[in-house]
Structure 1
């Protein structure tokens, strides 16, 4: 088998449905499997997978053991030469995996490949490619100077070696994952992707950023939402430094102080609500019960148009549209601040999107 797509889910049933539909299309011409690990979600994620995706291998954990352990459980049952660690709040293009396999098959000492990620408003996510977060680099990031944190030497649409990739999308050989013992289970959530990337580098492999395919990651780079979140985030940073940067004790002490100060003085996230004054639907005519819930006036187009007025809600009907075309359109329209996007998954009775990295997304049922 060529590819195993590993999706760890927790309580995002509707995003998971959209994700799985995009993955199923993307692996149509690949010898591949999809493995979903559910970390004891309180919603109906598991029953949805069983009903709509019978070919998906579903692992139902009876507790929430965290991101690292959950993924390790899934990878242990994977049969593919390659793995794709994929968040459930993502959408892949039809040719994403084909492009990555073609690129990967030609490389020696291949580590992890990441790709271009955009958020739910079509904006590029800089965490798609990062440098090693040394204590010095991370301290500067905490203080608001992130120039050295991100791998800005590579342009967004190019491909090249990088150090650190993001756990929302990681493509690598299973032999490499096993060689470094996978995700470190000392991390419950956050930091495990940095740790895995760094372990792979130290083992002598090359990590790559592949800018020639784009994946939507709705939530984007998480912002500190509450004390519990902040404690886990900074706790993960402490684990990473303790494991990999033990020698410089004085500088580490400065970093600990910076972490504590950032935790104490963190600001609550600001969510800017975009008020839609019109709706634009790309695709076939949609259900009248949905139209009754949308902002008037409603304009319907069978093809994607580049020019749209500000304060529009754009609905992409994936019953007819290609995901790749939708992603490219989002990237073009991301320059307009007051546009929001919604997806109508194939054969579904809801639309969804995410206008902010700090909310659980927006879902409308019909």
Structure 2
């Protein structure tokens, strides 16, 4: 039985993270499991309290917020499992989840990473994810399969290749990480798991999804209104993803598309919504890509309150 290391990140969401830990303990029957929580520079360090409450969990403290990619990479570095199960802290496990994903990785050597079906926790009949389509390099857009569909069992028999796994829950082989590398730290958040998925695909492994393995995600379907933080990194990292992955001609077409279509559309939206400060945010995101190497770790944005 291969060892599985569950890795999750906490940032000022102690109660949510504890709910995940309780969920794992209540539902898991997989015997060879370690659980790792990376505290990503929370304002108040929860680890001293947690150490007594959860003696079987490994806690790691980062004094600064390293984002989704950096936090997970810290956890992976100290994980001892042959499989790493990276999960958002705002998820809850269902019975048999770990075993169902392990079964696929154990029996399919060409599968390097796998996700379960994600459903929304606030209404467990609504699907969030059962796969991703490939990113179109010309527009840097793709689609989540099954998103917002009513779950009536239509994906329960789904098992097979998908474009990318979902950052909310993805189990990856240690050997995949050794061959493809870890997530690029300079994405910080947004597009990082898709960029990682591109490298995993290029390294010769496939990404799969299993529809009868389920994890519940507390993210709302209407996590709607963008913050300046989200607006900056969504635009910055969309361009950065293309710089990392697209062939030269497709990248050139994307840049034209972004300037002629995306920028005017976004500017109109900002004016309509009276978010005039976002205008500067958008151009900062573009300027960062014009003035920084695609491997630069300079974020170009002050990180304070972000989970």
Q: Is the TM-score greater than 0.5?
A: yes
Q: 1:237 to 1:164 in 2, by over 3 A?
A: same
- Whether 1:181 and 2:181 are equivalent positions in the alignment is yes
- Mapped partners of 2:33, 2:62: distance in 1: 23
Alignment of 1:17-36 (within 5 A): 17-36=18-37
Of 139, 144, 148, 1:150 maps to 144
Report how far residue 208 of structure 1 moved: 0.5
Residue equivalent to 1:256: 258
Q: 1:108 to 1:220 in 2, by over 3 A?
A: farther
Report how far residue 74 of structure 1 moved: 0.7
Match of 1:76, SS state, is helix
Q: 1:260 to 1:122 in 2, by over 3 A?
A: farther
Deviates more, 1:63-72 or 1:257-266: 257-266
Asked whether the equivalents of residues 7 and 88 of structure 1 are also in contact (C-alpha less than 8 Å), the reply is yes
Residue equivalent to 1:193: 193
Residue equivalent to 1:61: 62
Q: 1:177 to 1:27 in 2, by over 3 A?
A: farther
Residue equivalent to 2:91: 90
- Whether 1:169 and 2:169 are equivalent positions in the alignment is yes
Residue equivalent to 1:134: 136
Q: 1:260 to 1:11 in 2, by over 3 A?
A: farther
Q: 1:113 to 1:231 in 2, by over 3 A?
A: same
Alignment of 1:99-248 (within 5 A): 99-119=100-120, 120-136=122-138, 138=140, 149-151=143-145, 156-157=155-156, 158-220=158-220, 223-248=224-249
Residue equivalent to 1:275: none
- Mapped partners of 2:117, 2:87: distance in 1: 13
Report how far residue 39 of structure 1 moved: 0.6
Aligned residues: 260
- Mapped partners of 2:225, 2:240: distance in 1: 18
Task: Please give the per-residue CA displacement for 1:248-267, whole angstroms capped at 9, x wherever unaligned.
Answer: 24411233224434543268
Where in structure 2 are there 5+ consecutive unaligned residues?
Answer: 147-153, 274-305
Report how far residue 184 of structure 1 moved: 0.7
Task: Please give the per-residue CA displacement for 1:299-325, whole angstroms capped at 9, x wherever unaligned.
Answer: xxxxxxxxxxxxxxxxxxxxxxxxxxx
Asked whether the equivalents of residues 40 and 67 of structure 2 are also in contact (C-alpha less than 8 Å), the reply is yes
Task: Please give the per-residue CA displacement for 1:273-324, whole angstroms capped at 9, x wherever unaligned.
Answer: xxxxxxxxxxxxxxxxxxxxxxxxxxxxxxxxxxxxxxxxxxxxxxxxxxxx
Match of 2:248, SS state, is coil
The alignment's TM-score, normalised by the length of structure 1, stands at 0.65
Asked whether the equivalents of residues 6 and 86 of structure 2 are also in contact (C-alpha less than 8 Å), the reply is yes
Q: Larger Cα Rg: Structure 1 or Structure 2? A: 1
Match of 1:37, SS state, is strand
- Mapped partners of 1:136, 1:11: distance in 2: 38
- Mapped partners of 2:171, 2:232: distance in 1: 29
Q: 1:173 to 1:55 in 2, by over 3 A?
A: same
- Mapped partners of 1:176, 1:164: distance in 2: 14
- Mapped partners of 1:165, 1:83: distance in 2: 13
Asked whether the equivalents of residues 30 and 98 of structure 2 are also in contact (C-alpha less than 8 Å), the reply is no
Residue equivalent to 2:299: none
Report how far residue 50 of structure 1 moved: 1.9
Question: Aligned Cα RMSD in Å?
Answer: 2.4
The alignment's TM-score, normalised by the length of structure 2, stands at 0.77
Residue equivalent to 1:352: none
Match of 2:243, SS state, is helix
Report how far residue 246 of structure 1 moved: 4.0
